[in-house]
Structure 1
Amino acid sequence: MEGILSTPDFIVFFGILFGVMAVGLWVGRNDGGSAQDYFLAGKDTPWWAVAGSIFGSNVSSNHMAGFMAIGFTAGFVISHFEITAIAGLLLLCYFFLPVYRKLHVYTLSDYLNRRFDDRSRVAYTAIALTIIVLVMMLPAFYLGSRAVNILLVDKSEILQAQYASQMENTGKISSEPLEALNSSEATARTEVLRMWEQYGPIHLAKKNGDFTEASYNDAYKGLYPEKAPPSFEEVKKQSPSIEDDWRLLKKVE
């Protein structure tokens, strides 16, 4: 049973996570904890640190997973989302920021309170929080959880679930080529799924030592006869859970 992430991956991930946390606590150990320290970092942060903070706080799983997926499916059009953001940042820097500095305000809600009244500040805050939670945070959490689920899932279970789903929905194995994952557990499960043609034949072409191009049609046409399946007892030695797959496979008509 092996997931996509290994022990060194977890060590690096949590090492970076706790390392960044430790550096932040150490650097801020002498700060007073005022609003100015929180929003402006004490006004003693260099420009490159401010730029990095802005970039880091705006990048999430929406960008790492969502934007790449849209870029793959839709193309260059998703870049317009970031290109148009340049105009907004320029307006903020050259028009709004001087006003903020003059009024000694740190947020847009604070500015609305100074410019109008407290009702406008509360209304804007409520709208902003609703948008952040429903439009930004929920998709980010969902995409992040999907990524973690994919990284932590057992590779052999992907193959098992794929075949089980096809058999449950159609009563037979799909005729389209299926990718067999290259792991000992997945290979053992695949061997069971291709054992005898009367139980829903699956046959695999073996290329460069990896099992690929599994299809119902190959077995039906009698292709690759030299790749005769091993006996069930031999496969069972590789994985005790093979019996469950075998029982499920025998239900295929």
Structure 2
Amino acid sequence: MSILLAGKLALVTGAGSGIGREVCRVLAREGANVVAADQNIKTAQETVASLTGTEHIALHINVEDRSSVETAFKDVTKQFSKPPTIIVNSAGIVRNTLLMKHDDSNFDDIINVNLKGTFLVMQTAVKAMIEGNATKNSSIINISSIAARGRHIGVSTYSASKAGVIAMTKTASLEFGQFGIRVNAVLPGFIDTPMTADISDEEREMFKKNVSLQRTGKPEEVAEVIVFLASDRSSYINGASIEVTGGLN
């Protein structure tokens, strides 16, 4: 079996749990060196400890903070003598609150992590790729959400932030294509992660009824799509938003 990503360097934000951790696992399986970046360094280290191969590192990153993001990329480029050419923006937060009960700090937190964080990581990554003459066959994958389609009550700001990720992905793909950098988005549906752990059994069953496969998704099912988008097997996919929802209607 061919290894898809031999010798590639990948940086994954939100790598300490859920989809981010699973993406790290599948990237490592396919031969990539993985930088597991998370605000919680302990969970990032746990992710690295679970990976096959040895050329992986855990890294602290606060995606809301420009200096933290820029320092992270400088450290990675120095340690590996090259910038990462696979970027997965998986860091994200959700707070279920009706619009009328939403306060400013909740709004700011969600936008800062989900949208500004994606912007800062993309911008810094592409600068590093250009400086390192490493743009050819590079791939950025941003994790949006099916919530971006505006189908759920109580997640207005989260939905707006994830819709913003889709729009930013599309525009970035137009700007970066000339360098050989592809930018795509993945829209997971109801996936079994820590983010969905608090949902009641009743709500869970209700969600399943709206999924044609009649079940929730697994993080690895999203990770496999992301790794495909990171690889040369998707070399002509750019600016796409791919739903991974089991047929959620």
TM-score normalised by length of structure 2: 0.24
Larger radius of gyration: 1
Larger RCO of the pair (alpha carbons < 8 Å, separation 6+): 2
TM-score normalised by length of structure 1: 0.23
